[in-house]
A and B are shown apart, each in its own frame.
Chain A
């Protein structure tokens, strides 16, 4: 909300001006008094309620973010509010929580030192006036350090990680609009202000690269390459079509803003890849994740967040199970680790739980994190040996999405 003060030179009669001034003073007085009462300790309480303590309670800060800092989103099932759980993945310790609105998007910036969360709220719970906004949260204090109002145009879907994104240099935030027409919202993070809705064709997801450019994925199977200036003026061109009409790609691919590496499996188990940069898109020859024998035994990927990629190890982590066709969003119990260059299966991790989302840490001794909405839990595995290392339970209603710093 923006409050504008005028210069007092409007043509209203003096009496009306005085009345308005009087009402404003009254409102300020009443509001101020209420604020004091609401924020204080009730006067009717006895002294027992405010006794001096031998202990000294403080408000903690979370430790600095590292490679095994994990954020888990519980957005419920299209509920009006959501929760991000901050977890130290080294020891499965819950560090704190962050509130968000309906179907929010989290973006980790500055190597995990802040989180940007795009949210939607309504003035009367599920009705009334819609308000879209982006909060910048310090990942140590978990307090907001900026609050940016944006137009009420966020694309509300079951949470897809790449429907909003920081730019490669953390200077801008991009968010997708679907209705009334396709567009991408541009936010200037340094000025903490919304810039413009940039009209787009029928394309989805946001894959930023350096030099104020990003890619989107279009209905015809091509990528759209977009460059933009600080005022939101764009230049757009399409790449070649890189997958067939019946290669149905999952809604949550793996993308590294640091390296520009895009890993995108289809529901049939074909792995499409690209290296994205400011100079364009380089597509890598796709391969099948499963052998013909495995496909005959009905092995196929499945889950909501079914793929993760370890940059230095060049390993694809693919969530999969034996399943019938058209069960691509149901949970899986296994992760296949695949060499991203040769397509060779390196190992298979039997997690022993119904898992809907996975993420692998980017350090030299990586952990595999796996979310289970049914168990309301996050499981931790050694990504090399596959051994389960821990579980943290009672994570809200249905924790699904996993976010890790790059």
Chain B
């Protein structure tokens, strides 16, 4: 109870101090200025080179014989941790996102799966690699990762299959792949 009383007392002092130094009109005027200023911000010249970099992104983080080295920052790089067993184009580079398909494609309800290690929280997750189908191969951010990838006679873990089974319109044509999480791997 003593602690709570102390906290209440501190907050009350701060509120009274602020009120004694700030008039209502002054406060409303500053708030209005902030709102108008915020509205004008998009019109000001802004360095958008970061966005240009994204638009011109090339395939990065490609795996070599040294094995998969996951990172948890750049979802458009092949070495992003969720992509540990992806073989194909990242939808994130093709008009989609890490977990959504690009416009005009069909999402497959079936996929191969793999367990991927997230270095950010040091946990391992089960990833379901769902293909987005019904259009020509995207071609951008083409990644070949094979962490835990198995031969075609173990198809649930094979990334060499066109995983468009069950997509609308019988679209058995591969466009790109998303990497949604199923859950923590046990």
Question: Could you tell me which A residues sit within 8 Å of B by CB distance?
Answer: 76-80, 102-103, 120, 122, 125-127, 130, 155-158, 160, 178-179, 202-205, 217-219, 248-251, 302, 321-330
Contacts and interface: CB of A to CB of B under 8 A. Distances in A.
A42 B130 CA distance: 49
B134 interface: yes
Given A127-B135, A326-B67, A157 B161 contact: yes
B67 A130 contact: no
Contact of B173 (A127, A326, A327): A127
Interface string B96-115: 00000000000000000000
B136 A125 contact: yes
Q: Which of A203, A217, A218, A327 has the most CB of B within 10 A?
A: A327
Contacts of B89: 77
Contacts of B87: 158, 329
B152 A326 contact: no
B149 interface: yes
Contacts, number: 100
B151 A249 contact: yes
Contacts of B149: 326, 328-329
B88 A77 contact: yes
B152 A103 contact: no
Given A157-B161, A327-B63, A127 B134 contact: yes
Given A76-B137, A77-B139, A126-B134, A330 B88 contact: no
A160 B172 CA distance: 18
A179 B165 contact: yes
Contacts of A251: 151-152, 160
A325 B146 CA distance: 9
Interface residues of B, number: 37
A160 B160 contact: yes
Interface string B147-166: 11111111100001110010
A219 B136 contact: no
A204 B149 CA distance: 17
Q: Which 7 A-B pairs have the closest CB atoms?
A: A324-B67, A323-B65, A158-B160, A156-B162, A126-B173, A78-B174, A126-B136
B10 interface: no
Nearest to B173: A126
Nearest to A103: B162
B172 to A, nearest CB: 6
Given A125-B136, A127-B134, A330 B65 contact: yes
B148 A219 contact: no
A249 B158 CA distance: 12
B20 interface: no
Contacts of A249: 151, 153
B67 A325 contact: yes
B173 A248 contact: no
B170 interface: yes
Nearest to B110: A179
A125 B175 CA distance: 12
25 contacts: A79-B136, A79-B137, A80-B173, A102-B173, A120-B172, A127-B135, A127-B171, A130-B170, A155-B161, A156-B172, A157-B162, A158-B87, A205-B153, A217-B153, A219-B154, A302-B65, A323-B67, A324-B65, A326-B148, A327-B67, A327-B146, A328-B149, A329-B87, A329-B149, A330-B144
Given A323-B65, A324-B67, A77 B171 contact: no
Nearest to B161: A157
A322 B65 CA distance: 7
A242 B75 CA distance: 41
A126 B154 CA distance: 27
